[in-house]
Amino acid sequence: MSPRSAIENLRGSLPVVAPSMLMCDFGNLEREIRALEDAGAQVLHLDVMDGHFVPNASYGLTLVETFRRLTTLPLDAHLMIANPAEYAPRYVEAGADLVTIHYESTDEPDQVLAEIASMGAATGLAINPPTPWEVVTPVIELCDLVLVMSVMPGFGGQRFQASALEKLSHLAGLRTTHGCESLLLEIDGGVAADTIGGCASAGADVFVVGSAIFGNPPYSDRLSELAELARHGRKSLIEKR
């Protein structure tokens, strides 16, 4: 499946719960991937941290290549790295279907997004909690996805920041006013059973979940529960329109 086909499939399967593989058991990676596939996961979220842009380091190109060998599921690579202009294309080559860069990591997000798209991958732009949602406006037409961080990036297990809901609501309106209805809105950080419904009702489509899945198996039960809560939230969003 091509990256473009992968993201179109996601658009047709909303809401999507995206397991954050940072929380998985890397000593049994293939087993973890098979368990998620069997549980009905539709995409895997890969947190790439370089220890410079964020104060922690995770995995890089080699492990993304390993994920690509082990699964046909779409790979959503979230690059929390400095100098994405140099490295983002390498993650496309490594097999990522969607490559998300941070607005805060570059002075030229438009050029980096255009390069990712030119290589055939889907494009994402992430914004940190202090960053205003308005920065998305000039580049919205270059984005397949906008990721709203509800915690500061770099560490798992942080408390959800409710201010992210207002950003989601504004961005949901922005995609309507700019004719970008296919734009996906993703939320990452502290997403769990008690927050996912509010995220969905604010406009989120894709929900990155770590400990709420991996810390409480079986994965099939957690994915089903979270997806149902998200569907209920989306229903309330539709009813408000």
Could you give the residue numbers annotated as active site?
47, 188
Tokens in use for 100?
């998300």
| In the block, residue with structure tokens 């490295």 | 87
Residue 16 — φ and ψ, nearest 5°?
-120, 125
> Which tokens go with 191?
């997403």
User: What one-character DSSP code corresponds to residue 24?
Assistant: S
Instruction: State how far the Cα of 127 lies from the Cα of 129, in Å rounded to an integer.
Output: 7
Which residue spans within the chain are E strands per DSSP? 16-19, 44-49, 75-80, 98-102, 122-127, 145-149, 184-188, 206-209
How far apart are alpha carbons 157 and 25 in whole angstroms? 16
Q: Which two tokens stand for residue 84?
A: 């994405």
| 104 φ/ψ sector (left φ>0, alpha ψ -120 to 50, else beta) | alpha
